[in-house]
Copies of this chain bind each other. A is one copy, B any other.
């Protein structure tokens, strides 16, 4: 019983990381569309099939860490202090995530994403998944019980806020503008429940 995950899993993770790093480097050097899967595989010194055993698609190479995003969102819901209101907690988390991805160091990557229709499309589908996960977290939260539809709606609104902020000229300002709207929408679901 190895507390540090066994050598096999470490090797696997290393291979995965090597592929992701190589891919990102090549994409940034030559442009996403100009780099083929075969190029990435060759440069990372793995077979094409190996690459696809670690990543479901070419786009997934770019959004390698998207599960962190998902985790942080659900954590913001399920891990908040008792009686701490939901929407402000989500607001803080989204704000942190927006700051994170509009940081200068991340700029080239996001410029690449914005420049590729395939990547933008993929990002949307990733966000849809995040919205579903977030909806499940909200629906499962005992604090204020809400209907399935309402929690899915709020979840989508929150993800929308993130998407809008990322594209806005003033990302933090966009969060400040959209979240009061979400707060109001949220209040409606609570009001109808009290009635």
A150 at the binding interface (Cβ < 8 Å) = yes
Which single member of B174, B184, B186, B187 contacts A149 (CB below 8 Å)? B174
Which single member of B124, B125, B128, B161 contacts A153 (CB below 8 Å)? B161
Closest 8 CB pairs of A and B: A181-B185, A184-B184, A156-B160, A184-B188, A121-B125, A185-B185, A153-B178, A181-B188
How far, in Å, is A157 (CB) from chain B's closest CB? 6
Chain A at the B interface: SS class? helix
Q: List 26 A-B contacts (CB under 8 A).
A: A121-B121, A124-B128, A125-B125, A147-B177, A149-B164, A149-B168, A149-B174, A149-B178, A150-B177, A150-B178, A152-B164, A153-B157, A153-B160, A153-B161, A153-B178, A153-B181, A154-B181, A156-B160, A160-B160, A180-B188, A181-B186, A181-B189, A183-B188, A184-B184, A184-B187, A185-B185
Report copies per complex: 2
A182 at the binding interface (Cβ < 8 Å) = yes
